[in-house]
Structure 1
Amino acid sequence: MKISVIGCGYLGAVHAASMAKLGHDVVGIDVDAAKVEALSQGHAPFYEPGLPELLSETVDNGSLRFSADISQASGATVHFIAVGTPQQADSNAADLRFVDAAFEALLPFIGPGHLVVGKSTVPVGTAQRLAEIIEATGASLAWNPEFLREGFAVQDTISPDRLVYGVRPGDDSASAILDDVYSSILAQETPRIITDFATAELVKVAANAFLATKISFINAMAEVAEVVGADVTQLADAIGHDQRIGRRFLNAGLGFGGGCLPKDIRAFMARASELGAGEALSFLGEVDAINLRRRERMVDLCREVLGGTIEGAKIAVLGLAFKPESDDVRDSPALDVAARLSELGGIVRATDPHAIETSRRVRPGLDYVETVAEAAKDADVVLVLTEWREYRAIDPAELESIVSVRAILDGRNCLDPVQWREAGWTYRALGRP
């Protein structure tokens, strides 16, 4: 099928390359000329495992191309909208300017038989509003939310755990077209759920709200565990055996960040308030607050280990991305903590396997170094703030010869406290005695 993907950021670039891999003829459209040029050369403008190889393959074989010219979408009959919906600068609500602009720009190039498919995460009610505009051209609209995990985005696109189609009731043609687009995925017996627009919009934000709540729940338990001297990791193991609860996403630590969960739960609350259902989601305000308190607690823990003052202390920060296998530092707890320690007078040297350049664009004043050894040289304390595999595997004995003081703070509960303490280190972590 001939497909266009409007917006080639984290979501759109992966979706465009994956659709080409599935055998479609795809053009990716983006207003950022530099991004278009990089993608056209088969280079991913951000770090996502598997994406560079997928881009190279599909660009080289001619099934995928990129352009900054929206008219290049005219040859396609299925158009995916995958632009960002960031938080508004002055409120919790989602900023829909990019979504509205993408739809408006596409209008001259669609008509009867065309299907426009929303992938962006939007407030409930957006699809219904846009459907009236799209249907005036004779085209149809569907909403097909994404459920990508950064670090696994290619896998989650090509082999998703479910497909959700939001269509106007009775519009069997929209569902049939999406079945054609995803035919090879459906052949794997992937569950397919067909809903109305509102339900499809809610599926994405409800999933994110649930995950955020689960993460903040275990971090709330970590706050209690610290007071009573309990171990939150053992607590999580114990309750995680209950199949109704499950162990995944019960890892206490610095909390969640990135470009989805924080802004999505805030936008969800804002939209619910607009609709008169704000009380139903009032608990998400505390979910957000718990998450942000973890960052403050990490700074306090660092201050404790340093004897009461951060000013002048040499602090090594390992990890800046909001999660491993990503260079995304949007609302990153790790980068936020590093910046706070620097603002309090700490001499911070920070490193990350892939997120140094993205961090430098957001926090240019920090001292970034390439290796763990450079960051930890003569350090008074070492902080592990993103659970990269190479940080989890650090040998305490090897690091001992580099630092000034054997003190390590585990912001992700990803290290073995027994190993570090037996090696003579002061080990502290969130939610553990």
Structure 2
Amino acid sequence: MKISVIGCGYLGAVHAAGMAELGHTVVGVDIDAQKIAALTSGRAPFFEPGVDGLLQSRSDRLRFTTDISEVADAEVHFIAVGTPQAEGGAAADMRFVDAAFASLVPHLRPGALVVGKSTVPVGTAAAIAPQVEAAGASLAWNPEFLREGFAVADTLTPDRLVYGVRAGDDASVALLDRVYSTTLASGTPRIVTDFATAELVKVSANAFLATKISFINAMAEIAEVTGADVTTLADAIGHDTRIGRRFLNAGVGFGGGCLPKDIRAFQARADELGVGHALEFLDHVDQINQRRRARVVELALAALDDQGSRDATVAVLGLAFKPNSDDVRDSPAVDVAVALAREGVRVVATDPQAQRSAARKAPAVTIAPTVEEAINAASVVLVLTEWPEYRDLDPAALAPLTPARVVIDGRNCLDADKWRAAGWTYRGLGRS
């Protein structure tokens, strides 16, 4: 099929490359000429494993442009622009979605299908549909469920497909089935529903995951004052099949471009609908998450005080909000580093992929190219992103670099016994 993808940021670029991999002829459109130039050359303007390979291997049926008129012959158009948190508020900023639809509609051919993939407030599709239908096209909502670091696999082999369509719109369902024919043939579940339910699926999933993470971090707060071990606690309750072990890792909390802004936007939309009380708990989820960042700062400052001086260096290992990503949006690691710098502490940080983006966001933090350079002479070492190379560090080899030998494991990802045996004072969040 001929497909267009409007918006070639993280979601759009991955989706465009994935659709080409599935056999479609794809044109991606974005107003950012530098972004389009990078994608055309086979390089994604962000780090995501596997994306560059798809861009390069499928260049025969994948192209990128800044000219929206080049989508006119496409049968299906995906809208994949961002919905960041609005400046000065909690609601989603819908300017990019509105602009994408406004620019696309004049180029729609009769019978075309426009498919929203952006995460939007519930009610968006119903409000936009008349604009699309007036052009003789149809609208569907097909939420994305990408995990940063696994986006290629989640695009090609998702764990479910959700179609939000008007009641009785079998033609749109049939078109989407053609788009995803390879995926459906592999047995991927398909759920066909209304606009509102499809819009709620993504934000509900993110709200649930955020709640689960904040729940175990709330248990970590209790564990810290009782001498319990939150990691063992998570293992124990995770064996209950009703609960499960995934997303029960206590630590510095969640971040990134989705969970924090999505739960805030969800609350804001509920307030607009007059049912804000239904999501009041998400405010507590957010507060717990923010407290975990503050707790790491407290622990680092306390460790410096124990050594007799805050005029010292703290090493931060990890700046991205999660491994296999260069995304520092709402990153707990960056927040902690910046907070310590504000306290007058010299902070030296490193990350395998996020050094450049973090440097722009945190100019007061010194960026080191290697772990060894970051740790050298540091009074405290913080592990704030669970990159495999940090989990596998040899504490004995690093010990000579820092006489203090104090490590705070903000992700509970290190082998505590191994670090203590190498002479380090180890502190994990919620661990005795």
CA RMSD, aligned part only?
0.8
Question: What residue in structure 1 maps to residue 199 of structure 2?
Answer: 201
Tell me which amino acid in the other structure corresponds to 1:193: I
Match of residue 155, structure 2, among 154, 157, 160: 157
Spell out, residue by residue over 1:146-205, the C-alpha distance to the aligned partner (whole angstroms, 9 max, x if none).
000000000000000000000001100000000000000000010000000000000000
Q: Could you say what secondary structure the match of 1:364 adopts?
A: coil
CA contact (8 A) 1:20 1:58 kept: yes
| Deviation (angstroms), 1:33 | 0.3
Q: Whole-Å Cα distance in 2 between the matches of residues 44 and 28 of structure 1?
A: 13
2-structure distance, mates of 1:229, 1:268: 36
Which string of whole-angstrom CA distances, capped at 9 and with x for unpartnered residues, describes residues 319-367 of structure 1?
Answer: 0000000000000000110111111111111000000011112112311
| Distance in structure 2 (CA, Å) of the matches to 1:161 and 1:312 | 50
For residues 313 and 282 of structure 1, the distance between their equivalents in structure 2, rounded to whole angstroms, comes to 41
- Counterpart contact for 1:3–1:79, Cα < 8 Å: yes
Give the aligned partner of residue 332 of structure 2. Answer: 333
Contact 1:303 1:310 in 2 (8 A): no
- The answer as to 2:123 corresponding to 1:110 is no
- Give 1:424 deviation, angstroms: 1.2
Shift of 1:30: 0.5
Secondary structure class of the residue paired with 2:42: coil
Structure 2 residue 413 is matched with structure 1 residue 422: no
Which residue of 2 is the match for residue 402 of structure 1?
401
Q: Distance in 2 between matches of 1:196 and 1:165?
A: 8
- The answer as to whether partners of 2:73 and 2:109 remain within 8 angstroms in 1 is no
Displacement after TM superposition at 1:111 (Å): 2.9
- Residue 306 of structure 1 aligns to a residue whose secondary structure is helix
Counterpart for residue 221 of structure 1? 219
Residues 302 and 310 of structure 1 are in contact (CA less than 8 Å); yes or no, is this contact kept in structure 2?
Answer: no
Q: Is the 8 A contact 2:346 2:365 kept in 1?
A: no
For the 8 Å contact 1:310–1:345, the answer to whether it is kept is no
SS in 2 for 1:117: strand
Partner of 2:315, secondary structure, is: strand
Counterpart position of 1:242: 240
SS across alignment from 1:141: strand
CA distances 1:284-305 after superposition (whole Å, capped 9, x unpaired): 0000000000000000011122
Contact in 1 for aligned 2:163/2:173 (Cα 8 Å): yes
What SS does the corresponding residue of 2:192 show, helix, strand or coil? strand
Residue 343 of structure 1 aligns with an amino acid whose one-letter code is R
Distance 1:170 1:112 in 2: 19
Q: Is the 8 A contact 2:206 2:263 kept in 1?
A: yes
| Residue in structure 2 matched with residue 282 of structure 1 by the alignment | 280
Which shows bigger deviation, 363-372 or 329-338? 363-372
Moved more, 374-383 or 307-316: 307-316
- SS of match in other structure, 2:293: helix
Residue in structure 2 matched with residue 371 of structure 1 by the alignment:
370
**Corresponding residue for residue 211 of structure 1:** 209
Q: Which runs of 5+ in 1 are unaligned?
A: none
- Which string of whole-angstrom CA distances, capped at 9 and with x for unpartnered residues, describes residues 43-67 of structure 1? 11100001111111111xx110000
Separation in structure 1 between the aligned mates of residue 21 and residue 159 of structure 2, nearest angstrom: 18
The structure 1 residue matched to 2:70, chosen from 69, 72, 75, is: 72
Q: How does 1:8-407 map to 2 (within 5 A)?
A: 8-59=8-59, 62-307=60-305, 311-407=310-406
1:407–1:425: 8 Å Cα contact kept in structure 2?
yes
Secondary structure of the structure 2 residue equivalent to 1:282 = helix
Query: Structure 2 CA distance, aligned partners of 1:404 and 1:23?
Result: 57
* 2:408 match: secondary structure: strand
Aligned partner letter, 1:102: A
Q: Displacement of 1:310 after TM fit?
A: 6.8
Per-residue CA deviations over 1:245-299 (Å, capped at 9, x if unaligned) read 0000000001000000000000000000100110000000000000000000000
Contact 1:379–1:405 under 8 Å retained in 2: yes
Q: Distance in 2 between matches of 1:404 and 1:108?
A: 66
Contact 1:377 1:404 (C-alpha < 8 Å) held by counterparts: no
Identity %: 68
Paired letter, 2:55: L
Contact 1:310 1:344 in 2 (8 A): no
TM-superposition CA deviations, 1:382-424 (whole Å, max 9, x none): 1100000000000011001111311100000000111111111
Which whole-Å CA distance do the structure 2 matches of 1:176 and 1:295 have between them? 47
What is the CA–CA distance in structure 2 between the aligned matches of 1:363 and 1:132, rounded to whole Å? 44
Please give the TM-score of this superposition, normalised by the length of structure 1. 0.99
Residues 6 and 82 in structure 1, CA contact (< 8 A), matched pair in contact too: yes
Amino acid at match of 1:186: L
Gaps in structure 2 of 5+ consecutive residues: none
Q: Is the CA contact (8 Å cut-off) linking 2:250 and 2:411 kept in structure 1?
A: yes
In the alignment, the residues of structure 2 paired with residue 198 and residue 164 of structure 1 have an alpha-carbon distance, to the nearest angstrom, of: 12
Q: Report the AA paired with residue 378 of structure 1.
A: A
